[in-house]
Amino acid sequence: METKSQKFKLRLGLFVFGGLALFALTIFIIGKQKNLFNPVFKLTTSFYNVSGLQVGNNIRFNGINVGVVDNINIINDSTVKVEMLIRKEIHKFIKSDCQVAIGSEGIIGDRILIISHGSNNSSLVKNEQHLESNEPIETDEIMASLQLTADNSAIITEQLAEIMISINQGSGTLGRLIHDTTFAKNLNQTMVNLKKSSKGLNENMNAVKHNFLLKGYFKKKEKAAKR
């Protein structure tokens, strides 16, 4: 009986020890992800729409996770304040004119904050300083723009199809030119006549230049042109 009691106590002790170890490991992992064990400093920014951003989401600088979103508060109907915790070691890289934008991890991943580079001559940020933000482009707006482009493309395609049908049916000047051989011959004959008229006009002008009555006039014109 005593042996069974000792085994039960041993198993209970192992179970409690395993539970405490698992709890401590969980706290350590969460604390590491949330920078609970690293020195941090706070920055703030604001958006009109945080687009699904949540407390605990990552903050990236140069593509590296440098902090987490600490708090999100609605200030008024057009402003949402976001508080950020950034690792202290990153402070020397973040300038006061850096801007904050909302991105995502992959195509359908969690929302993240992305801190852009500042200018070289700008000063470093101070603790709890407010950074300017770039408003995110909503997926609905992108889809609406794509839908508008698709609708316009469909209209243009339909109009081009109607034009081609009219041409194929011989409608309009271009259709008649392509399909009506008589019209095409008449147009061709007109061009030939224009060429002949131009040639005849040149010949007449040459004849006038050699006329003894007008020869002096044309010589004066040539001398004036040379001057």
- In angstroms, the CA 184 to CA 177 distance is 5
Contact by Cβ (8 Å): 161, 73:
no
Looking at residue 216, its pLDDT comes to: 57
pTM of model > 0.85: no
Looking at residue 186, its pLDDT comes to: 66
* Tokens standing for residue 139: 């997926």
Kindly report the backbone phi and psi dihedral angles of residue 103, in degrees, each rounded to the nearest multiple of 5, phi listed first: -125, -160
Contact by Cβ (8 Å): 48, 81:
no
Which residue from 58, 43, 140 is spatially nearest to 102, judged by alpha carbons? 58
Rounded mean pLDDT for each run of 10 residues along the chain, 227 residues in total: 61 68 62 62 91 90 91 90 92 92 80 90 91 74 68 77 67 60 66 68 58 54 61
Looking at residue 72, its pLDDT comes to: 92
* Tokens standing for residue 167: 């041409």
Looking at residue 130, its pLDDT comes to: 94
DSSP state of 126: -
